């Protein structure tokens, strides 16, 4: 019996968010990594993306996960500060 092969990609936006959590939520980081590992174990093909709507990697048959898919179930909420200001000059 062949071992099940898992393929996953980590897009820059997801990695950037993960690095931010490593710095800001150090105490929660092992739990976050555990959920990422569980996600890979459950899904043989995963893209960890910065944004579902505009992923860099488009692979048929792959499951897409954003950082909030990992953190929200852990009740670790990520504030998206990447959007532009609502205030004009």
pLDDT in tens, 24-73: 999 999 999 999 999 999 999 999 999 999 999 999 999 999 999 999 99
71-to-31, 42, 64, 66, 86 alpha-carbon distances in Å: 9, 17, 15, 9, 26
For residue 87, the model assigns a pLDDT of 60
Residue 38 structure tokens: 């569980």
Q: The pTM is what?
A: 0.82
Instruction: Show me where the domains of the chain are located.
Output: 7-74
For residue 4, the model assigns a pLDDT of 75
For the cut 60, the answer to whether the pLDDT of residue 1 exceeds it is no
Residue with the bigger pLDDT between 57 and 3: it is 57
């Amino acid at each position: 019996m062949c071992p099940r092969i898992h393929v996953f990609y980590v897009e820059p936006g997801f990695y950037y968010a993960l690095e931010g959590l490593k710095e800001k939520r150090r105490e929660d980081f092992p739990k976050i990594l555990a959920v990422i590992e569980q996600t890979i174990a459950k899904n043989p093909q995963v893209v960890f993306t910065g944004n579902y709507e505009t992923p860099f990697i488009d692979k048929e048959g792959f499951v897409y996960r954003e950082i909030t898919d990992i953190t929200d179930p852990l009740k670790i909420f990520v504030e998206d500060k990447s959007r532009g200001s609502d205030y004009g000059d």
